[in-house]
Amino acid sequence: MDTVVNNKRVFWVSPHRPVGFVEILGKRDDVRLDMLENDNPPETAAAVLSAAHAYQTSSTRQELARHYHTNADFLKKTPNLLIVSTNGAGYDTVDVEACTGRGVLVVNQSGGNAESVAEHVLGMMLMLIKRVVECDRALRAGTLTSRAAFTGNEAFGKTIGIIGLGNVGRRVAALCGGLFRMEVLAYDPYLGAEEMRARGAAKVELDDLLRRADFVSINCPLTDETRMMIGARQFALMQPSAYFITTARGFIHDEAALEQALREKKLAGAGLDVWEKEPPPADHPLMRYDNVIVTPHTAGVTTEARIRMGQFAAEQMLDALDGRPAKRIINPQVWPDYARRFERAFGFAPEQ
């Protein structure tokens, strides 16, 4: 059967395009690619949105214009939309419940940046416990009086508590358990104890993890369940010698509660890669502390991860459009509705 040219419509919003995505999909005669801009007037975008079958979207909520977030209002403008694919592991810009209600499949690129993010966790952990940033600032300011004033500790043999034992969390577990012979605890209500042992961690409840860990690493997605799950009560459970590290998403922890815990010296320090507002303002209260290391959501921003994520995104998009099983589905419960809509659009049923 002859290929139907451009019968599968895919769009993205510039500059939120995975590395290599256009180059890979552009080789297909049956795929039409459209690009929109954040500031396109509605009449310019309308034709693309109304015809689109698939949307490759940003995972970063504050870099993508609100009218391009995949919510109920957006879905009214995209009656033919079948697939929403995020550029990263996060899906903050997508209302998954609304998509499920409209029969739209949501996929992400989980695992593509796991190595980069896990290495960032270890980097923050080592800089905190060895007090690298504090020493750097003192030397540059000319305020260093004694090396002993910056006595650090070893990571070897300490305890790490990982919240979320998915692709990133399991890699953090492997690195900490292997390199530093750390005791690895994990909280993940979606995994059983046996599976968590296979991933290198002991299953514990959240409160137990917080009480026992020398380092707490947040590696779970932002969902209704995890939003503000770490607040004043949770920080109060942690040891005064413990460090809090997050490379997951803003809004999982309460920034004001963390600042209070640091101000009252109830924590030894923190490593923060994600924020409620990104990038955070320079006068953010958490920026005042020398024992807080900050980065602007760059844990997964490496050359290797960007290439890998782009390949994941392109291959998964083509799999979905060709009716082959997608590997990283966020809302599997949508399948019956999605499959019916897909078959109406393309004339054949997708494989689950």
Residue type, 128: L
Side chain identity at residue 172, one-letter code: V
Give 303's contacts (C-beta < 8 A, 6+ positions apart): none
Tokens at 230, concatenated? 């770490």
Active site residue 120: no
**For 3, phi and psi rounded to 5 degrees?**
-70, 135
The Cα angle at residue 296 between residues 243 and 206, in degrees rounded to 5: 35
The closest of 269, 272, 288, 282 to 150, measured between CA atoms, is 269
Q: How far apart are CA 16 and CA 277, in angstroms?
A: 19
Out of 170, 297, 306, 328, the active site residue is 297
User: What is the CA 68 to chain-centroid distance, rounded?
Assistant: 19
**Which residue in the list 63, 183, 276, 278 is annotated as catalytic?**
278
* Both structure tokens of 153: 């500790």
Question: To which H or E segment does residue 246 belong?
Answer: strand 243-246
The CA distance from 53 to 124, in Å, is 41
d(Cα 98, Cα 218) in Å, to the nearest integer? 27
Pairing of strands 54-57, 31-37: unpaired
Q: How many CB atoms lie within 10 A of CB 72?
A: 12
Q: Which residues are CB-contacts of 143 (< 8 A; sequence separation ≥ 6)? A: none
Sheet holding 215-218, edge to edge: 202-203, 183-187, 159-163, 215-218, 243-246, 269-272, 292-294
Residues in the chain: 352
C-alpha–C-alpha distance, residues 263 and 257, integer Å: 10
278 tagged catalytic: yes
Residue numbers annotated as active site: 249, 278, 297
